Amino acid sequence: MNTSEKNLRTCPKGHQYFKSSECPTCPICEADKKPKSGFLSQLSAPARRALEKNGITSLQELSTYSEKEILKFHGMGPASLPKLKSALSEEGFSFKK
């Protein structure tokens, strides 16, 4: 897709970026929000936002959910599950059965 097919947008913080979809998310703001370490840093932005929107910011909180419950969150896909399982396992946790 050419830049000419995308619309120039400005986020509330003043960042300018081109986007072809109606998604209001500023890629510059999203990059600034991405954690530098921890399990959330391993996820895509939509998957990370899905967990954060549901109040899940720690592995202990994540362990109170089943895989099926997590997959129901908007933005969460099956590609994120192996990363989440690995992070849980490394700390002695697992998904709820």
Q: Where are the domains of the chain?
A: 1-33, 37-97
Average pLDDT over residues 39-45: 92
Confidence of residue 31 (pLDDT cuts 50, 70, 90): confident
CATH code, residues 37-97:
1.10.150.20
Task: Give CA–CA dist 38/42, Å, rounded.
Answer: 7
What number of other Cβ atoms are within 10 A of residue 84's Cβ?
25
Residue 50 has pLDDT above 60, yes or no: yes
| CA proximity to 43, closest of 90, 87, 13 | 87
Rg of the chain, C-alpha, whole Å = 16
The CA-to-CA distance between both ends of the chain, in Å, stands at 44
Average pLDDT, rounded, for the chain = 90
